Amino acid sequence: MKKLLSSVLALVMVLSLVACGQKQAATANGEKTSNKDAFELALVTDLGTIDDKSFNQGAWEGLVKYATEKGISHKYYQPQAAETNAYLETIELAIEGGAKLVVCPGFLFEEPVQLAQDKYPDVHFILLDAVPKEIKPNTMPILYQEDEAGFLAGYAAVKDGNTKLGFLGGVSVPAVVRFGFGYIQGIDAAAKELGKECEVVYNYTGQFAATPEAQALASSWYNAGTEVVFGCGGAVGNSAMSAAEGKNQQEGKFVAKVIGVDVDQYSESDTVITSAIKLLSNSVYDGITMFYDGNFPGGKVTTFNVKNNGVGAAMDHAKFETFSKVDYETLYNDLKSGKYTIFNDVAEYDPTKALTNLSNTKVTFIE
């Protein structure tokens, strides 16, 4: 009898441990899963959350769209820290969970994917906004022509009646530089067509953060008559938004405006009139489609631009006074057809040197 009782107790303990293990798995990332579940498509998030209104959210929406349409299991995983080992460990967790393809959004994944592609040659990777030093056949790095998105936003802002504008960039990495260069050239193209003269103040803050210093700089621009500031580089845009909100409250009217970046940032602030966007969901959806169609373009960089609907300016919640969706569609098609040529050589970072041949726009670089 004692032996039977001991056996029963042992069985209960084993079942309890199994139940605990399943409960821990069930609460991972807030999803209802079990140890036997496998997820074929995976996203490993960058800094922030899955609803960050930026890279994570845009990439996830593209993945979910494809997975839902095709009935494919999918899941996202969040690293515990913003460093290579944590990112690599999370990628490996996704692979252990059954992932055949892992989407990694953001330049911080450059090194983790470089390591993972070698270690897991049978797993495929989509890497957004970064390129490994050596691209293996199982990796698809995706870059975007930010200059085209910047051009569209700058052109629209001037066509809508603004002539004094600003560019508040983060770190002068190639993506930020391209956004700025395109923005300036869009401003100048519209100014030339309208026969107007435009002025632009231009600065790189040196970091991707909202800081009192960045807000103070943007405030000084608005106080000096700047009408629109393109906040380009992570949370730098929030500094511009706070400055614009303060100016509008002071004036009692909508005089200070902001252009958002990467995704449609209309919900971040009432001051956002449009955003220069990377259509992240489109590019991820297309990349996954190519993977399942057997046409995965691994081993080389794939660029998304206006020709494959990879970049744009947000119009669904735009706050333009006169520039319409019809105007935007005409502009988009003109850019796609080659009517406008954009200088985007990011090897020359100084806009005071790179953008000196503008006919109708004066750029003042602020140190």
Is the dihedral angle over the CA atoms 110, 235, 287, 144 positive or is it negative?
negative
pTM (two decimals)? 0.84
**What is the tens place of the pLDDT at every residue in 7-59?**
433 433 333 333 333 333 222 343 433 345 799 999 999 987 888 878 899 99
Percent of the chain with pLDDT over 90: 78
Say yes or no: do domains 29-144 and 146-278+310-365 share a fold: yes
Kindly list the strands in the beta sheet with 272-278, ordered across the sheet, starting from the edge strand earlier in the chain. Answer: 311-313, 272-278, 257-262, 228-232, 164-169, 198-204, 361-365
Question: Strand locations in the chain, DSSP E?
Answer: 41-44, 74-77, 101-105, 124-128, 139-144, 164-169, 198-204, 228-232, 257-262, 272-278, 302-304, 311-313, 361-365
- Superfamily grouping for domain 29-144: Response regulator (3.40.50.2300)
**Quick one: pLDDT band at residue 350, thresholds 50, 70, 90?**
low
Q: Which of 21-30, 112-121, 175-184 has the lowest mean pLDDT?
A: 21-30
Q: Tell me which CATH code domain 146-278+310-365 carries.
A: 3.40.50.2300
- CA–CA distance, 35 with 69 (Å, rounded to integer): 25
Q: Provide mean pLDDT across the span 329-337.
A: 98
Break the chain into its structural domains and give their ranges: 29-144, 146-278+310-365
Query: What token pair was written down for 329?
Result: 């569609």
Highest-scoring range by mean pLDDT, 29-33, 51-55, 163-167, 353-357: 163-167
- CA–CA distance, 319 with 343 (Å, rounded to integer): 28
Question: What are the φ and ψ backbone dihedral angles of 233, each rounded to 5 degrees?
Answer: 140, 85
Q: Is 129 left (phi over 0), alpha (psi -120 to 50) or beta?
A: left
* DSSP 3-state of 216: helix
